Amino acid sequence: MVSSNLALQLEVTTQPKIEVQESPVKWCSVSLSDVVSRGKRLEASVFDVEAKQAREKISKEIYGTVALAGDNGLIETAYYPGWIQRSRLKRIYCDREYGEGFYLPSQMTDIYPKPEKYISRLADCDMDELRLKKNTLLLTRSGTIGSVAYVSKTLDRCVFSDDVIRITFKEQYDLGYVYAFLKSKVGNLILRTNGYGSVITHIEPGHLEEITVPNAPIELRKRVNDLIVRSYALRDESNEMIDEATQLLVGELHLPPIYKMEKSDSTVDTYSVKLSNMNLRLDASYHVPIVDAIIAHLHQNADEITTIGDSRISKEVILPGRFKRVYVDEGHGRGFIGGKQLGELDPSNKKYLSLAHHGERIGEQLELHENMTLITRSGTIGKIALVPKHWEHWVASEHIIRVIPANSKIAGYLNIFLASDYGHQLIARFTYGSVVDEIDDNHVRQIAIPLLKDRAVQKHINELALGANKKRYEAYCLEQEALRIMNEEVILAK
């Protein structure tokens, strides 16, 4: 018998609350004259929303604005070699010993760029005009336009492509200030787009006259400039420490210049290989004589030669599997970088990988940790980077192999050897592929690593490398503080 007609709720279940973080709606106002000028087009894609909003922010700046270039502008000079003559540089490339290191625009933002090509001193050009001068601002003018760099001690007197605009300022404190503005999201959008928001394909010095920057008080400009100057001074110090570590390595192993080891008396690259040394590889690039010369030299001068796969050298070598990436807006995922960005302190064009779609893979394979050594495995083989502190928990492409060092006592030394000319040859020998070059994690485990007879020198090399990495982290923090001031106290100041 039922004594009551009330239904009892046996179990209370709580429905999970699903929160979806939506990106803010992107919008902007467009004048009728803009619509007419753009061919009476009404599609939003014709007018870059973010670029127009950036220009509106600057126009409403509480400090007012000032022209970047022109008679009343901040810039003293802006040019690139051959600009006045409207002529292109005629390049004559040559071997290292017969020319000077020649740098490309893509290397401009690297912490410590190394020349990939060498230009002959017989080239029909003014070499001094191509040399960079200290305390100059650089802008890429074609290709990937709008990249910004500051010429400090590292780049001083380096021979750079004529695709880079050189800029000097009437007041020295405006150099770091304008650098920070053009590095900011708002400033870089304004630099790369025209009044309609469309991305321009080429920057000429005259284009800079159309750009305005916030006319902040001099004291505020000096604060920003000082932070940028100190940031680049730390980068220079880190590069000097890397040079010292490399010189110690070369001296301890009595290594001759790499180009001398490449010398051959034959006019044709032919050589014989014993069957016992084939190692199941029939491609000639695996058996190049320079690799045998380096290995033989190391056997004579090192205490021991081991490999990266040795447990004393690495805990693990990780080659992430290929996957389809899902990108999200900033703030909704993990910072993601590719092989081309390994040389940069803070890649400005990094993307963001979705945690919802790739969370497990990120934790197991993709995530970066301080003092890992990264090696590019496809396309350009053998680019090396030591993960700094501020890259902790960032995510890198699956085209980069991660080497987790056995401990902090070997992490820096391993990186210095692999980044040397000699280490690069030992990496590149494993390259395979007819269209796209590749190496894999098994190849990396086989790369030869010399251990020095004088372990005190090896320890010092390791400490120098780790110390350099620490200075780069400090340099990053200083630049981020300059960008914070630029964003919060200048661009968004109320």
Q: Give the pLDDT of residue 476.
A: 97
**Residue 402 near residue 342, CB atoms below 8 Å:** no
Residues 142 and 177 in one domain: yes
For residue 435, which amino acid is it? Answer: V
Q: Give the pLDDT of residue 17.
A: 46
Residues 58 and 178 in one domain: yes
- Angstrom distances, CA of residue 208 to CA of 58, 88, 175, 299, 316: 15, 21, 14, 57, 50
Any domain includes 166:
yes
Any domain includes 445:
yes
* Residue 203: count of CB within 10 angstroms of its CB: 18
Residues 109 and 157 in one domain: yes
Up-side HSE of residue 240: CA atoms within 13 Å toward CB? 10
Any domain includes 25:
no
Q: How far apart are the first and last CA of the chain?
A: 75
**Element holding 469 (H helix, E strand):** helix 455-485
Q: What is the dihedral of CA 129, 133, 138, 141, to 10 degrees?
A: 0
Any domain includes 23:
no
Residues 198 and 283 in one domain: no
Tell me the torsion sign for CA atoms 317, 320, 321, 322: negative
- Angstrom distances, CA of residue 249 to CA of 55, 265, 299: 51, 28, 15
Spatial neighbors of 207 by CB under 8 A, at least 6 apart, are 200
Residues 179 and 242 in one domain: no
Give the ranges where 185-288 is alpha helix by DSSP (H).
Answer: 185-192, 218-253, 258-261
Phi, psi of 137 (to 5 degrees): -95, 135
Residues 202 and 302 in one domain: no
- Structural domain containing residue 186: 32-215
Residues 318 and 378 in one domain: yes
Q: How many structural domains are present in the chain?
A: 2
**Residue 406 near residue 315, CB atoms below 8 Å:** yes
DSSP state of 395: E
User: What predicted TM-score, i.e. pTM, was given to this entire model?
Assistant: 0.87
Residues 187 and 290 in one domain: no
Any domain includes 422:
yes
Q: Give the pLDDT of residue 86.
A: 61
- Residue 146 sits in a domain whose CATH number is 3.90.220.20
**Residue 302 near residue 450, CB atoms below 8 Å:** yes
Any domain includes 444:
yes
DSSP 300-323: HHSSEEEETTSTTTEEEEE-PPP-
Residues 186 and 247 in one domain: no
Residues of the chain whose pLDDT is less than 50?
1, 12-22
Q: Give the pLDDT of residue 103.
A: 93
Residues 193 and 295 in one domain: no
Residues 299 and 190 in one domain: no
Phi-psi region of 375 (alpha: psi -120 to 50; beta: other; left: phi over 0): beta
For residue 266, which amino acid is it? Answer: S
Residues 107 and 162 in one domain: yes
Any domain includes 187:
yes
Q: How far is CA 82 from the centre of its chain?
A: 28
Phi, psi of 451 (to 5 degrees): -105, 135
Q: Give the pLDDT of residue 202.
A: 83
How far is it, in rounded angstroms, from Cα 494 to Cα 483? Answer: 17
Any domain includes 13:
no
Q: Quickly tell me which residue has 């807006």 as its tokens.
A: 329
